[in-house]
Amino acid sequence: MEEKQKYQRDESFRNKITTVNEDGGRKWLYPKKPKGKFTNYRSYLSYFLLVILFAIPWIKIDGEPFLMFNIVTRKFVLFGQVFWPQDFHIFGLIMISMVVFIVLFTSVYGRVFCGWICPQTIFMEMVYRKIEYLIDGDYKEQQRLKKQKWDLEKIGRRGFKYTLFYVIALIISHTFLAYIIGSDELIKIQTSPIREHIGGFFAIIGFSWVFFFVFAWFREQVCLIVCPYGRLQGVMLDRNSLVVAYDYIRGEGRAKFRKGENRKETGKGDCIDCNQCVNVCPTGIDIRNGTQLECINCTACMDACDFMMESTYQPKGLIRIDSENAIAENKRVKFSFRSKAYTVVLIILIVFIGFLFKLRGGVETSILRTPGVMYQETENGFISNLYNVKVVNKSGDALDLTFKLINYNGEIKMVGQDNLVVKKGESNQQAFFVEIAKNELTDKNTELTIGIYNHGELIEQEKTSFNGPVR
């Protein structure tokens, strides 16, 4: 045990990249097909998330998509709530809150998002990789096929596989475009002649080739060198974060398994150096070297190690979800004060995001007295003030607005048209007079409450001041 406590990891692995050969070329990975409890859980979750991913563009709330990010028209929809350019400050706060949420979540719970929820991982490992296993076989057969000459078998397998890959990429590109322009516009592109939607047609084709390139060739490189979330992992994790970790206290010194041997008596650790954890890793790392940027916490190594531990009659969990400190101190991971504090902050952030959604109404109105214009006294004994009203329509429908005094007897006379019409996503303004009988006024400045009605329904109240003569 004393020797194990003094165990120092070999840090030489940090001098090389698992997907780069010594000559600097791409080292193609052939991960072994994972099997086990965690792989099954991940598969079920992935299928559920895939259904949600493809269904969301077709879900509408009050006629608006559940999610849409239309950069062209600057219209963004979150959970059926439309965010126009006027709402950018709220949209920005929600996005910042989500980023903070992800950072805190990662600090406590590690990169569980990468391995279990990220669309890149789900499509790569649960769709494309499984098709590859089905057509090319497991990793040994794939390596053999790679070295095989281009005969009918290899041409047939490669042709069938990449055709399927492209068809799926085409389906993904349609869904991706639906998130940008909405399902209604997507259907128009799909059902109309190409000449009427040249831009949409080329967008679908372009996206499909991008997805094909990513999943057929680029693969794990997205996680290793492109994804900013993966690059930031080093500053978000610490030794108390939950990660997929190798118990080096228990596992070292590693040695091959010998049937009937008492490993404790011979001073050997539980790791039988079978390399199964390395063989199943989709990014090609050796988790026994410790937490690494390339690890996406997919837990495939946990399944592989548990299987070997069970086969050699040793306790499972040599590779498990744990913190570096818990393993070093040979203690079970605890829900620390920091974890509790971060979890409270996460809950507060969720409440804050909900508050931001509630804060944002469908209409934004401002009513101000026209600058530089004094009150006027009419011949029939009324005092009038001139106002300007500006309305921003954030709802998904056009507004047909009228205005009424709520807390005073008086009359509102619009300048021009009787109603103020505001198209969805736009703003409009108009002037109006407020007339109140002189004997109704008790002060020089009177606070007025004006009701804003859309098709006769009160949707908002706005306060302003009314000037009159000194009494």
Which of 135, 121, 112, 129 shows the shortest CA–CA distance to 50? Answer: 121
pLDDT at 8: 63
pLDDT at 397: 80
pLDDT at 1: 45
| Averaged pLDDT in 10-residue chunks for the chain of 471 residues | 54 77 87 96 96 95 86 80 74 76 77 89 96 96 95 96 97 95 91 90 94 95 86 76 90 89 88 95 92 89 96 94 86 69 77 73 85 88 92 83 90 91 85 91 89 91 88 63
The Cα-based distances of 392 to 87, 364, 366 in angstroms read 10, 5, 9
Annotate 236-258 with DSSP letters as a single string: H--TTS-EEEE-HHHHPSP----
Label the pairing between strands 411-414 and 427-437.
antiparallel
- If you compute the radius of gyration of the chain from its CA atoms, what whole number of angstroms results? 32
42 vs 418: CA distance, rounded Å = 61
Query: Which tokens hold the place of 449?
Result: 């409450």
348 vs 353: CA distance, rounded Å = 9
pLDDT at 325: 85
pLDDT at 443: 85
DSSP type of residue 421: E
pLDDT at 309: 95
The Cα-based distances of 52 to 42, 117, 394 in angstroms read 15, 12, 27
Beta strands in 4-96 (DSSP E): 60-61, 64-65, 67-70, 75-78, 81-83
pLDDT at 335: 65
Sign, CA dihedral 328-329-333-338, equals negative
pLDDT at 465: 92
Task: Collect all residues with Cβ–Cβ distance below 8 Å to 460 and sequence separation of at least 6.
Answer: 361, 363, 365, 451, 452
Which of 174, 189, 182, 176 shows the shortest CA–CA distance to 64? Answer: 182
pLDDT at 44: 96
Give the Cα-Cα-Cα angle 40, 108, 91 (nearest 5 degrees).
95
Which of 470, 450, 357 shows the shortest CA–CA distance to 78? Answer: 357
Query: Which tokens hold the place of 407?
Result: 């807390």
